[in-house]
Amino acid sequence: MKNRTLPIGIAIIAAGIFIALGKLGFFQALGAWFWPLLPLAAGGILFWAVWTRRLPPAAYVPGAFLVGASIAFLLCAWFGWHWMKALWPLLPLSLAAGAYLFAEAERIPPLRAMSLGVGAASLLALLVTLLVYVNGFVVALVLIVAGVAVVARRPNFR
């Protein structure tokens, strides 16, 4: 008889914990902080569908936009929405990345060149907005670390 009541007792305890967490606002905070993971997953599914040839390469464009936008939204949800004034270049950058992937898959050189230009302009805008809105030392540190990584990974020609 004791073995039958154990699962019922555990279910009652779990329901009580679930209700208490809901009353404390745990699920509301969880939803507010992690909702950008849904479009990130949708973009990942689009990439997977193209890689497995279930969708045409044109699906790279919305997939890349969903991934890029959700990364910006996730950072804003975690650190505050005032960061969007510095992270907005991620949106055109993600569109340019999707267009580049599509141009490579379909072998469209003009689109590839245009997407590289838009991507370079977006990266420049991201760097400028980070320099303006974030402490310049943080950006300088990131650039130094990136430069050291490039130098450390170069092949030795001895």
Kindly report, residue by residue over 97-143, the tens digit of the pLDDT. 999 999 999 999 999 999 999 999 999 999 888 888 877 677 778 88
- The per-type count for the chain, helices as H runs and strands as E runs, is 8, 0
Closest CA to 103 of 87, 119, 126: 119
What is the average per-residue pLDDT within 44-73? Answer: 95
Q: What percent of the chain has pLDDT over 70?
A: 96
Question: pLDDT grade, residue 84 (50/70/90)?
Answer: very high
Q: Is this structure's pTM higher than 0.85?
A: no
pLDDT, position 22: 80
